[in-house]
Structure 1
Amino acid sequence: MGTVERSRWKRVVVGCAALVVLASVVTGCRPEPAITPSSSPSPSPTMRDTTPGPSVSPIETEKPQSAFELPTACEQIYSASMLADLQSANPPLNDPGVTMLSTENADLLEIIHGGAPTLRCSWGQPSEYGLATNVTEIDGTQAAAIVAALPAAGFGCEALGDGTVCRIEQKGITLDDNEYTRGETHYVGDGAMVTTAWINFAPEGYTEDVVATLWG
């Protein structure tokens, strides 16, 4: 990894991240940057960086024409069994110190932070272990643009239910010789998208459970 790439990953912490497959990276919670892969040692990734976004976007825009109803609490996006697993495996829910972004993809960040109604949820404490998820309302035009943009950004996409799920993952070694894995999983469905970034914590079936709960 070059000096410039190492510098860029140095700012990333377990807060939100976009990834390029099997490259070395670190995660962070920052305003809206896109990430760049690297294959050399990087600073140890953590779950704290900048100021976290609000649980629900304070800017109300006209809602897209859809039957989708944005949940009002994070507990509502999971099945009872998944919620119990998360509470046991990596509490707490919504630690104020976790500012990790749910993605570092510029196209998705523009929508999330552009005033669309959004619910933010995170699991874990500021550390090298956790995840962050946003559920954001979108319209049909935005959905089509996202589905077209993610494969071009290196995501692998496939059908899930009536929508599309896209994933990307990276592995790396920090400057302290600690191995880490980070990634992003995004779902685009009718009326909303679910964006999730994680580091060293990717519960099996996580996004599938959210999709089944919200659209099932």
Structure 2
Amino acid sequence: MRSSSIFRSVVIAGLAMAVGVLSACGAYEPGASSSSGATPSPNVSTITPAQPASPSPIETNTPQAGDVTLPASCTSIYSAAMLASLNASIAPMNDSAVTMLSTQIVPALEVLQSGIPTLRCTWGGPSEKGIATNVSIVSSSQASTVQQALESNGFACTAADGGTVCGIETKSVTQQDQIVANGEEHLLRGNAWISTRWITTFPAGYTADIAATLWQ
């Protein structure tokens, strides 16, 4: 009987030690409750994503009454009578050796070379006689830039041919002491800009004929 009592005492002592060990492990368990019973929240930083920058406004042109489309070919910008006259007096058309530009005014030239839709037409060969014309599609701001550049360079601008015509004529002397007349004439109307530079010859009514043909 005594040995049985000793055995029960040993078992009870062993259970007490086991409970104590489990209690000690629970005190250091990660994520254990605090004395208040609440679980600590992790320290998390909130990052607000950057807002994308607003795109710059792009100029768009709403078609207006009187706007034209770019002609398909140079023969389609003249009346039959003007085309016949040019072929008779200053052929050929579109000689690849002709490099004359339709304007020498830098701001206008920058607009012309900016990638705007353009049809280039020339008359005559490389000589002291010829015509270079561009029919271009421009925005209202580009048309304004061109007109301001022309006026600031001494062009006379007036209302004509359904829009604004700006022109200038100058004379120069060749090495053979010959006087050569040259000039430019421009029409700004709706979404179109007709620019022409000429040397020695410029048929009367040239720009007006193109306007009447495009806006017929």
**Same fold (TM > 0.5):** yes
Q: Which amino acid aligns with 2:72?
A: T
SS of corresponding position for 1:131: strand
CA distance in 2, matches of 1:91, 1:64: 37
Q: Which amino acid aligns with 1:76?
A: S
The percentage of counterpart residues that share the same residue type is: 46
CA distance in 2, matches of 1:163, 1:131: 22
| Alpha-carbon contact 2:108-2:149 (below 8 Å) kept | no
Tell me what 1:165 maps to: 165
SS of corresponding position for 1:97: coil
Matches within 5 A, 1:114-129: 114-129=114-129
CA distance in 1, matches of 2:135, 2:205: 17
- Give the helix-richer structure, 1 or 2: 2
CA distance in 1, matches of 2:205, 2:60: 29
Matches within 5 A, 1:197-212: 197-212=197-212
- Quote the offset at 1:148 in angstroms: 2.6
- Quote the offset at 1:208 in angstroms: 0.7
Matched, 1:138 2:135: no
Q: Which amino acid aligns with 1:96?
A: S
Matched, 1:65 2:58: no
CA distance in 1, matches of 2:62, 2:138: 9
Tell me what 2:98 maps to: 98
Structure 2 residue ranges without an equivalent (≥5): 1-58
CA distance in 1, matches of 2:149, 2:215: 23
- Quote the offset at 1:68 in angstroms: 1.4
Tell me what 2:52 maps to: none
TM-score, with structure 2 as normaliser: 0.69
- Quote the offset at 1:96 in angstroms: 0.6
User: What whole-Å deviation, never above 9, does each CA across 1:57-102 have from its counterpart, x for those lacking one?
Assistant: xxxxx98433310001000110110001001111010011111000
CA distance in 2, matches of 1:87, 1:135: 19
Matches within 5 A, 1:72-87: 72-87=72-87
CA distance in 2, matches of 1:91, 1:82: 12
| Alpha-carbon contact 1:64-1:137 (below 8 Å) kept | no
* CA 185–115 in structure 1, closer or farther in 2 if over 3 Å, else same: same
| Alpha-carbon contact 2:108-2:145 (below 8 Å) kept | no
Structure 1 residue ranges without an equivalent (≥5): 1-61
Runs of 4 or more above 2 Å deviation: 62-67, 144-149
| Alpha-carbon contact 1:64-1:138 (below 8 Å) kept | no
The structure whose Rg is larger is: 2
CA distance in 2, matches of 1:198, 1:128: 10
CA distance in 2, matches of 1:119, 1:64: 20
Q: Which amino acid aligns with 2:127?
A: S
User: How many residues end up aligned between the 2 structures?
Assistant: 155
CA distance in 2, matches of 1:182, 1:142: 25
